[in-house]
Amino acid sequence: MSTEHFSIGFIGLGLIGGSIAKTIRRIHPDAVIYGYDINTESCRTALEEGVLNDYFDNVDMRFARCDIIFLCAPVSINIDYLKILKDIVPSQCLLTDVGSVKTPIQEAVKNLGLEAQFIGGHPMVGLEKSGYEYSTDRLLENAYYFLTPSSNTMFQLTAKFSSFVQGLGSLAVTLKPEQHDYITASISHVPHIIAAELVHLVRRADTDNGMLKQLAAGGFKDITRIASSSPIMWEQICLNNSSNIKNLLSDMIRDLQEVIQELDDGDGDYINKYFETAGEYRDSVPNNAVGLFEKVHKLYIDIPDEPGTIATAASQLAFNNISIKNIGIVHNREFEEGVLEIILYDEESCEKAARVLKGKNYTVHIR
């Protein structure tokens, strides 16, 4: 599937839709790309940036000219748009979505008689921020992109779309919808709920002067940053994948009750094994894989509490053309080594910064 002289439509131009559109524009500059979003400003910006050739104020017959349409709204809203598109688009138009829950939309596609031309899609990418302004033309690079065709989807169409996705720099993986939903519940949906609950735990325990909020900065804020994701999006995800989420949360509750029992029994061997097993599995997760959560490129260095030390370290990076995304002092170092935290834009910059600072005799710890 080539986008040369192809017309591609986007319904929803937020973080994911905007990133796919930008990637297509970068790789296939001759593609004709149309867009629609309830936030007209996103479409206007995309048009000014040259990402879109034009945008529409509604989902109507104008989308009939598209060869591919990406549905990039929340799951239930995508289903509503499918009902409109059914009577608009020709049978040769490929319909796909980017939602992180697949079973509900696949059922809707079946009921609407659109199985032959629909391939469910889900790029395993994301940030804790949402909206077109955070989209990039590199978000899909080396990321898994799940495809969930139905048994009635034309095989040739699936093969072509898989090739197209890989041409955008992603790694196409074909799954059944129910497989996809269980996997994403395990590695994304439940972790988001747990992150939110950790925040609620500290919020409820906090004092009137916000002492816990101050002391929790650093490692706690890092491990719970996905709790800042879009509430609207996560409402949709949780409601549409509730069965898998509930089963996994029930398993977790059972396991936590077992931990409580072992704490009551004072079973040190169990507690030791509990952390050992978790650590071994966590350490076996590959560092170079691109998953659902944005990888943060950080390093930490030890510096003395003296005037000018932060500026000196930052200057060493500037002299070597290394851009710093953020920098700050770590007060709570229960989870981190080093007093100065430096956040870089990418892995290459992080590795280069580490080499430069080590060459200047700094003690460097890479996250």
How many Cβ atoms sit within 10 Å of the Cβ of residue 321? 8
State how beta strands 171-174 and 144-149 pair: parallel
pLDDT of residue 238: 94
Low-confidence ranges of the chain (pLDDT < 70): 1-5, 127-128, 217-218, 287-295, 305, 330-338, 367
| Helix 242-265 / helix 190-205 crossing angle, nearest 10 deg | 50
pLDDT of residue 128: 65
pLDDT of residue 338: 60
DSSP 3-45: -TT-EEEEE--SHHHHHHHHHHHHH-TT-EEEEE-SSHHHHHH
CB–CB of 60/87 below 8 Å?
no
- Look up residue 24 and give its two tokens: 């297509």
At 352 the three-state DSSP class reads: helix
- Look up residue 34 and give its two tokens: 């149309």
- The residue whose two tokens read 């002299």 is 319
Cα 83–chain centre separation: 27
pLDDT of residue 294: 56
| Helix 231-240 / helix 190-205 crossing angle, nearest 10 deg | 120
Report which residue type is found at 343: I
Among candidate residues 213, 225, 242, the one with its CA nearest the CA of residue 332 = 213
Distance CA 38, CA 250 (A): 37
Distance CA 331, CA 349 (A): 25
At 103 the three-state DSSP class reads: helix
pTM for the full model?
0.76
Q: What angle do CA 153, 156, 158 make, to 5 degrees?
A: 55
